[in-house]
Each structure stands twice: as C-alpha cells, then as structure tokens.
Amino acid sequence: MNALFLKAYRDLTKRRVRSLLTIGAIAIGVAGIVAIVSTAQNLTRAQADAFVNASQADIKFWAWDAPFTTERALAELPNVADAELRNNFSTRCKWNGVNRDVYLVGTRTLTLAGFAASPNYPTATILDYATIYANANDVQRLLGISGANEVLLKIQDYTHARDTARDAERFLRRRGIDHGAPDVRDPQNFLGKRELEALFVLLSVFSAVGIITSGFLVANTLAAMTGEQVGEIGTLKALGATRGQVLLVYLVASALYGIVGTIVGIILGTLASWRLLAFLGSFLNLETGFVFSPEGIGLGVFIGIFVTILAGLVPSFTATRIRVKEALEAYGITSTYGQGRVDRAVQKIIALPPLAAMSLRNLARRKVRSVITLAVIAVAVAASLAAQSTSTSVDRALDELFETFHADAWAWLDQWVGSNFTASFRAADGVTAAEVWTLTDAWVGTDRVRVWGLPTNTALYAPKLIEGRWLNADDVDGVVISTDLVAKQNVRVNDSISVE
C-alpha cells in the first residue's frame, strides 16, 4: 500500500501545473458548496435569534389619532406582553446635497449617544428610506393630531397571534379609533427572504457546475496520466500486478486530488461564508456571528472526494484493460485506429489543409480524452450561457413589472378617501391619470395575503392573466389571486375561498 501511495504521489507532483489546475477546480466547487450551505444556515439562525430576542412588535396596526391612554388597556388584552403607541411620518430631508426619503418615528425625547442597527428593518439601502427618532410631540405636530397613528403589540404565545390581533381590532373598534388591518409578523417570511433564496439557488447551480467541471478535469487528467504510463502499466502487469492493483494506483491518485482539493475548498468556503454572511447581515441589520456548519463541511467533504473518485473510475478501468504485450510493444500507438466508424469518417475529410487534417485525426486517436475535453468545454459554455440567460431573464422580469404597473408615483394616505379625490390630482399639470386603490392584509386559511382593491376599469394596472378572466363591474365577491396562492390552496377557477 505504501508503494502504491508513493507512486500516486509522484504521478501528481510530476505534472505540477496540471495537478494544480485540477485541484483548483475541485477546491472552487467544494468552496461554493460549503459557503452556500454555511451561509444559509447561519443566516437562518441569525434571523431566528432576531425574531426571539430582538425588541420587535409582533402585531402592528395603522391607526389615526389614537389616545395614548389606550396603551395600558391594550397591554391588558389576553396574550399581550406589551403595547406601545407611536407616531410616524414619512417626509424628505436633504443631506450631502441630495434629497432623500425619511421615515420619522416619534417615541420620546432622545439624547444622541451613538449609532445602532435595528433588527426590525433592513438597511436603508434596501428600504430606500432612513429612520430618524424624534420627540413625539414634534411628529404629532407634523401630522396635525394629538394622538398616535401606530399601534404595536408584543405577544406572549405566537401560536395565538391571529386571535390576539382580532381582540385588538375589536378593542379599537369599540373605542371608535380608525385603524387598518393588523400586520402580523411572520417568522418564516422576512423582507428579502425570497430574493435570498433565489440567490442561494443560483449560487448552488454554479457550484454544482464547478463540481461537475472538476470531475471532468480529474477524469481527463487521469486519462492523460494512463496514456503517458502505458509502458509502466505493462511493466507492473509483467511483474505480476493484478487488475485490482493497477486500478488502485489510479484511484489513489484521484482520491489524493479530491482530498487536497477538498481541504483547500473547505478553507476557502469557510472564509467566503464568513464574508458573505457579514455582507448579507449588514443589509438585513442582523447580528451574524459566524458558526461552523457541520452539514456544510460534511457535504463538501462527501462531494469533493466522492465526485473525484467517481470521475476517476472510467480512466482507471481503462488502464486495467491494457494487455502486457500491447503495452510493451505499442507504447503510444493506438493499434485499432482506422477501424471504427468515426476513424473512417475522419479519414474521408480531404478538403482540409494538412495541419488541420492532422489535428482532426489526432482527436479521433484518443477518443475518450477528446470526449472528456469537449464535455468540459460544453459545461463551461453552458454555465456562461446560463449566467447570461439568468441576467436577461431578470431584466425582462423587471421590464414586465413596469409594464404591469403603469403608475409613476404612489401616495399613501392616512385616512379614507373616495374616488372623487382623484380629481384634484388630475387637475395638476403633467398628470394624465390618477386612481384610488385600497389595500389590506388578510388570511386565506393559514396563508397571509394582501388584498388590493382596484377600480374595475383601472388604467394603471395591466393584469397578466394565466387562467380565467379579469374582474367585471357586476362581480360580487369575485377575486383574482396569484399563482403562489393557487399552488398553496390547490384551487381552480370558479372555486370558493374564505378570506378572513
């Protein structure tokens, strides 16, 4: 066994550049797998910690001029751990010569003591607005009210969140406080989750491509190695080596490629996961302390070593089929060349210059190696085309989004208005259309949904129907739902759904 290991080691170090390229390809694939799995698990853990430990409201209501005396009464509702009333106001401010959106929250008089990241909100880079804390009286003066316009509840048992939201809604209704639908925080869905999942899927695909490419490189390297060592294989067999021993020589070589590449890949993947986690955590305002992922490292070890050994089986078996007489008498010569269909087809091509014809025939002499090389090129080209196609698809999806919503500006109102309210907007210079929409949050079974109320003759929304029809003016309790909700509820056109 020691002699087999030494021979495999000498084979790897004999062609250093080729070995480094192969090990590098394996390391890149393993690093991608380790980084993606580790980052996803650490990000999920950080989000769960933020949900449990951070001072976040579990239920929010928009309200209008709610007296601050209702705060204590809300806190006494069943399952409510704490209640708070706030004032918030969206405005604009100017710094560094640029106008920027600001979300002004009035709580109490504060003295600036430092800067902190709030796990309640992603970074302003994503939200496109900053948050400023100010004196509550100042925000009330901007709003023109003496009460609060936001109700926040922290609950004790999240499994009864919907019941608590209904109790709070009934309480506000009894007090005659104008309010909107409750916004119940979902621990399984945070802002940006779908985008992150799509990013991880995309990275996983490219990591898989890297692993497949590295497998081809290992197979190609071992094929070249066995081609160079036909004489050595013949000598080994002449000295009594069995097919299993010859097979073991090259499987040990492929295993060494996998072990070295996997070790390097785990180190690179861990470093990449650490930096990627810090980068994503800064966008989501999460405390992302890095923790080693046993699943990520284990998956990297399994894939890195298993794929390389699997890729080395074909050229290793090919090496065991070489006979002693052929190896010692015909080293470097393929005695069967010209007998196959491919060989005869290549020989019939006579319209090429001599150098081009010789190059083409050389491809046919080492068919397995040529096929592996072509496969590597095909995978690389496929990965490049996939990346370009993904970029084009994203651009197209954004274009379709703007084709769906024809509005250039949105105004969120803190009180109910009728459709005649749009006449004031239409009278403004440059405004060609204005509509009043209504939105509220609701539940369909266990799924949270957002309900949009649109005019039936809307000119600012172009629906993209997959099945069925759009709403008519005489529809009663008719709705059009998204394809995501169709998949979750398993419903069809003309079925009934219960919206709570």
> Per-residue pLDDT averaged across 418-444, rounded?
81
Task: Give how far Cα 226 sits from Cα of 130, 222, 255, 331, 335, Å.
Answer: 64, 6, 16, 11, 16
Highest mean pLDDT (candidates 75-79, 216-220, 373-377, 434-438): 75-79
pLDDT tens sequence across 403-429: 777 888 877 776 677 767 778 788 888
Query: DSSP 3-state helix, strand, coil percentages of the chain (rounded to 5)?
Result: 55, 15, 30
State both tokens at 467: 């099945």
Query: Could you count the other beta carbons within 10 Å of the beta carbon of residue 83?
Result: 21
DSSP structure string for 187-244: TT--TTHHHHHHHHHHHHHHHHHHHHHHHHHHHHHHHHHHHHTHHHHHHHHHTT--HH
> Per-residue pLDDT averaged across 102-123, rounded?
58
Our CA angle for 288, 289, 290, nearest 5°, is: 105
CA distance 385 to 381: 6
Please report the pLDDT score of residue 109 as a whole number: 46
Model confidence band, residue 327 (pLDDT cutoffs 50, 70, 90): low
Please report the pLDDT score of residue 434 as a whole number: 87
pLDDT tens sequence across 2-25: 666 777 677 777 777 777 888 888
> Per-residue pLDDT averaged across 320-347, rounded?
60
CA distance 378 to 384: 10
Pick from 107-116, 239-248, 431-440: least confident: 107-116
Please report the pLDDT score of residue 110 as a whole number: 45
> Per-residue pLDDT averaged across 71-100, rounded?
80
Closest C-alpha among 319, 329, 305 to residue 369: 319
In degrees and rounded to multiples of 5, residue 384 shows phi and psi of -65, -45
pLDDT tens sequence across 342-377: 556 656 565 656 666 666 666 666 666 677 677 767
Answer for the pair 7, 249: CB distance below 8 angstroms, yes or no.
yes
Looking at this protein, which amino acid is placed at residue 474? D
DSSP structure string for 468-481: S----TT-SS----
Model confidence band, residue 54 (pLDDT cutoffs 50, 70, 90): low
CA distance 409 to 348: 69
pLDDT at 107 over 60: no
Task: Give how far Cα 274 sits from Cα of 2, 155, 263, Å.
Answer: 39, 34, 17
State both tokens at 80: 């409510």
Please report the pLDDT score of residue 493 as a whole number: 86
Closest C-alpha among 80, 71, 82 to residue 136: 71
Most distant CA atoms of the chain, gap in Å: 101
Model confidence band, residue 440 (pLDDT cutoffs 50, 70, 90): confident
CA distance 27 to 25: 5
Answer for the pair 308, 26: CB distance below 8 angstroms, yes or no.
yes
CA distance 114 to 224: 63
Please report the pLDDT score of residue 55 as a whole number: 66
Highest mean pLDDT (candidates 70-74, 327-331, 443-447): 70-74
- Which of helix, strand or coil describes residue 364? helix
In degrees and rounded to multiples of 5, residue 251 shows phi and psi of -70, -35
Closest C-alpha among 370, 234, 257, 274 to residue 308: 257
The secondary structure of residue 461, as a DSSP letter, is B
pLDDT tens sequence across 145-194: 888 888 999 888 888 888 898 899 899 989 888 888 888 877 666 666 67
Closest C-alpha among 157, 141, 140, 162 to residue 149: 140
pLDDT tens sequence across 454-480: 887 888 888 888 888 888 878 888 888
Mean pLDDT of all residues in the chain? 76
> Per-residue pLDDT averaged across 20-38, rounded?
84
Please report the pLDDT score of residue 404 as a whole number: 78
Please report the pLDDT score of residue 415 as a whole number: 67
Token pair 């709610």 in the structure block, residue:
66
Model confidence band, residue 267 (pLDDT cutoffs 50, 70, 90): very high
H helices within 156-192, ranges in order?
161-174
Note the residue count of the chain.
500
Give the burial string for 124-137 (b: 16+ CB within 10 Å, else e).
eeeeebbeeebebe
- Which of helix, strand or coil describes residue 381? helix
pLDDT tens sequence across 190-235: 666 676 677 777 777 777 777 777 777 777 777 777 767 777 777 7
Closest C-alpha among 68, 72, 124 to residue 98: 124
Would you list the domain boundaries of the chain? 2-50+192-333+366-389, 59-184, 419-489
pLDDT tens sequence across 225-264: 776 777 777 777 777 777 777 778 778 888 888 888 899 9
Closest C-alpha among 415, 196, 404, 391 to residue 284: 196
Q: 374: which residues sit within 8 A by CB, 6+ positions away?
A: none
Please report the pLDDT score of residue 77 as a whole number: 92
Closest C-alpha among 496, 500, 450, 446 to residue 476: 496
In degrees and rounded to multiples of 5, residue 453 shows phi and psi of -100, 110
Please report the pLDDT score of residue 337 as a whole number: 53
